[in-house]
Structure 1
Amino acid sequence: MKLLCGITLLLAVAVAYYIYIPLPRAISEPWKLMVLDATFRGVVSMGDVAHSLGLSHRVHVINSAIINFESLVPVTNQEIQAEDILFDGVHVRVYHPPGRKEKLRRAVMFIHGGGWALCAPKLGSYDSLCRQMAADLDAVVVTVDYRMAPDVHFPVQYDECVRAAKHFLRPEVLAQYSVDPERVAVCGDSAGGNLAAAVAQRIGMDNSTSVKFKLQVLIYPVLQALDFNTASYQQNQNVPILYRTLMARFWLEYLDSDLDLVHSIIKNKHTAQDQSLLSLSRSKLNWTNLLPKRVIKHYKPIFPLTGSPKILKDLPALLDARAAPLLAEDEVLHMAPRAYILTGEHDVLRDDGMMYARRLELAGVSVTNDHYEDGFHGCVTFAFWPCYFSVGIRAVQNYIAWLDEHL
């Protein structure tokens, strides 16, 4: 009996040691986040082991676990009809609110996150989110089921989202779905926010597209990969669920590069002071000028004197605004639609969103930056049973309310 109690105690201590990580006091529901993070870390570790043994690609293992979990989330707002269809060869799901088709409705094109590699937009939290938008806004919602890494890489994800958007914005397609062409928004979270921003830029500059997006909603978007030491990357590098190293891995997977470069890019070796290719890009992400002092705090830029020029030469997409919308020229930003940008204090991507908000403002675009002091990355997808956080519920309610007011 004593042996059993001893083993139980040791196991409990080991589990507690694995789960516990120090978190900022202000973060939403820290113990719940610790459990969620420990689960995700375990899945990532399983993926790495399977990959190293040659059993399966690490991303496929992680995504399989996510899909199994998301399948547990019950379908909400069942009165919303869902139709799976192709838009110019791209898989999408169209959500229709009940009611007469003669009535012109608003519409939202939604692009899911997951590091351009993970998640299932037709299941679980993303399905619930799109159904809630359709119900609360009485709007047609289109979610883009773009192909993901490691099966495809940049620019495939971007190209598929552009094709789906251009198809949906055709006047005859909008008419088919009884959508008001003056009231269409594009929305995305995380990597989906990256794609939504890039698509909004493309549509804004595309003279062949007569219908434009009225609004863009970017939820903690990832917008650049040239500086992994912004104030928020430094402050939140070890805050779940998106650690700095994990974000770097997502970028390298997206751009079809070697994950061994993770340690070089998180030290900004690819953007060292001796890198001449960056002369035109540095001002576009100079966070000491673009961020408010309250978030910069005591943090300083970190760029080594000498670096690895081969990284930028081998990965030119790092300087491509289609992959990194924060690098777009001012004239491109000027043509972008009015923006709502959601950021969380405890998120490595906080400064990406805030810098983009400032650059859009400087280009003459109206911007609402909705910042959550208790927010962490991914909180919007954690607004539904069985894994919900109060900050996620508030964030979803607030951004839908903003759409309801402005769309």
Structure 2
Amino acid sequence: MKYKTLCFGISCILFAHWLYSPVPENVEEPWKVRFADALIKMTTLVATLFEKIGIMKFEDTYVAITLAYLTKPVSDENVTVIDTNFSDIPVRLYLPKRKSEIRRPAIIFMHGGAFVMGSCKSSTHDDLNRWTSNKLDAVVVGIDYRLAPQHPFPAALEDCVSVVKFFLQEKVLAKYRVDPGRICISGDSSGGALAATVTQLLQNDPKFKDRIKAQALIYPGLQSIDTSLPSHREYAHGPIMFREATLKLLCLYVTEDKALLQAALKNEHMPEESRHLFKFVNWSDFLPEKYKKNHVYTEPVLGKLKASYPALLDSRLSPLLASDFQLQSLPLTYILTCEHDPLRDDGLIYISRLRNVGVQVTHDHIEEGVHGALSFTTAPVFLHLGLKVRDKYITWLEENL
């Protein structure tokens, strides 16, 4: 009993400490952000302790929490919600109920979660896709792709590509009365990486070229080869997203070998033969001056990690590694970034590269924003920022699909 009381007391002290930790001055609703930040730090601490004493793996603690927020496919007066399979992959369909004389647009959405957790059936993503379907009178497809580490790269990507190709069949589009000229692929965070890669692959596939009208990427993570971009350094300790915990999860998409994580934390994980790829992610060339600040570009240390992971050199894992030739044919693009986000610079670099090759890009940057805002639109933490991100995304879709 005394042990439990001591643990509870220490937990309360730590939570109070994190609750009063400073956050960036211009963050919207700072006390709510502090509360969410403290909850995530507490989860990370518990996950670390559980792993060290052998109760469960680090990632399993996060997964267990996200499973508590899964929802059933509940229809309402505006939208019919159905769980089904496309090409043997689970999807959640949102079908508007109101009658339409013309075919509808469609959005294929890929959820975030560091490739390890999350689901299109989580309450926040279910709300987002339901709201999107209702507001745009659009068919929305949420993909419940396989997760790491049980299913490492490229399992999640293969599932997303399979679903999109299945959906693009004429008979399937006709069944759901979808206009084949008004289809968008979208995603948030790691789902944004999946959306970007799927769009690249389809646009460079003669069979599917020009079948996608638009892509929409919400605070996407787009590369794994340089883990020391300015935003990585500035927001290594949050708020909301923390560099070490995030890398620990992301590395599981490639391997469960902890050597990769230790090397990635030092930015020493890439092999010597990857040198030519860094021109695609060199932030000193692509970041707007505003975001370079006083940072000095330093080349990562190459060839130090003895193990070899071919996925790290693969543009299907890091869509920022695609060549200019591969990027120039991409469709209309929307990218939303948040200022206080370790992944901020991934999005900013992609915007620069896409614009340099003539792709039409709309960029919304939320100065008071933090990563994962869409995950805070329901209890226990509700941020108006999440609604702002949602509304900017849906407004762009409404104007461009």
| TM-score under structure 1 length normalisation | 0.91
**Is the aligned partner of 1:124 residue 2:118?**
no
Moved more, 164-173 or 40-49: 40-49
Contact 2:107 2:139 in 1 (8 A): yes
Q: 2:371 aligns with which of 371, 377, 394?
A: 377
Question: Which residue identity is paired with 2:96?
Answer: P
Uncovered stretches (5+) of structure 2, i.e. residues with no partner: 1-7
Of 271, 285, 290, which residue of structure 1 is paired with 2:286?
290
1:225 is aligned to: 224
Task: Tell whether the 8 Å contact from 2:203 to 2:210 is kept in structure 1 after alignment.
Answer: no
Q: Distance in 2 between matches of 1:77 and 1:10?
A: 45
Question: 1:369 Cα shift?
Answer: 1.4
- The alpha-carbon deviation at position 201 of structure 1 amounts to 0.3
1:360 pairs, out of 354, 361, 366, with 354
Per-residue CA deviations over 1:199-233 (Å, capped at 9, x if unaligned) read 00011011122661100000111111111111111
Q: Distance in 2 between matches of 1:141 and 1:14?
A: 42
Displacement of 1:310 in angstroms is 2.3
Residue pair 2:116, 2:250 contacting (<8 A) in 1 also:
no
2:328 to 331, 334, 353: 334
Q: Which residue of 2 aligns with 1:171?
A: 170
CA distance 1:358–1:19, shift in 2 (3 Å): same
**Equivalent position SS for 1:254:** coil
Q: Paired residue for 1:185?
A: 184
CA contact (8 A) 1:291 1:354 kept: yes
Where 1:122 maps in the other structure, the secondary structure is coil
SS for the counterpart of 2:68 is: helix
Per the TM alignment, residue 102 of structure 1 is displaced from its structure 2 partner at its CA by 5.3
CA 1:357–1:102: 2 relative to 1, 3 Å: same
Superposition pairs of residues 192-211 of structure 1, within 5 angstroms:
192-209=191-208
Partner of 1:3: none
Decide whether the 8 Å contact of 2:136 with 2:398 is kept in 1. yes
Cα gap change, 1:146 to 1:80, in 2 (>3 Å): same
Q: Are residues 176 and 14 of structure 1, via their aligned partners in 2, closer, same or farther at CA, if it must alter by over 3 Å?
A: closer
One of 284, 308, 315 as aligned partner of 1:321 = 315
Aligned length: 394
Equivalent position of 1:4 in the other structure: none
How far apart are residue 26 of structure 1 and its match?
1.1
SS of residue paired to 2:276: coil
Code of the aligned partner of 2:252: E
Q: Aligned Cα RMSD in Å?
A: 2.3
Whether 2:273 is the aligned partner of 1:277: answer yes
Per-residue deviation, 1:10:
9.1
- The amino acid across from 1:283 in the alignment is K
Contact 1:181 1:211 in 2 (8 A): no
Q: Which residue in the other structure is 2:261 paired with?
A: 262
Q: After superposition, give the CA deviation of every residue in 1:281-313 in whole Å (9 maximum; x if it has no partner).
A: 1110111110100011111123356651425xx
State the distance in 2 between where 1:47 and 1:281 align: 34
Aligned-pair identity in percent equals 36
Q: Is the 8 A contact 2:19 2:34 kept in 1?
A: yes
Shift of 1:251: 2.1
Q: Is 1:100 matched with 2:99? A: yes
Are 2:109 and 1:113 equivalent residues in the alignment? no
Shift of 1:41: 2.2
So what's the TM-score if we normalise by structure 2?
A: 0.92
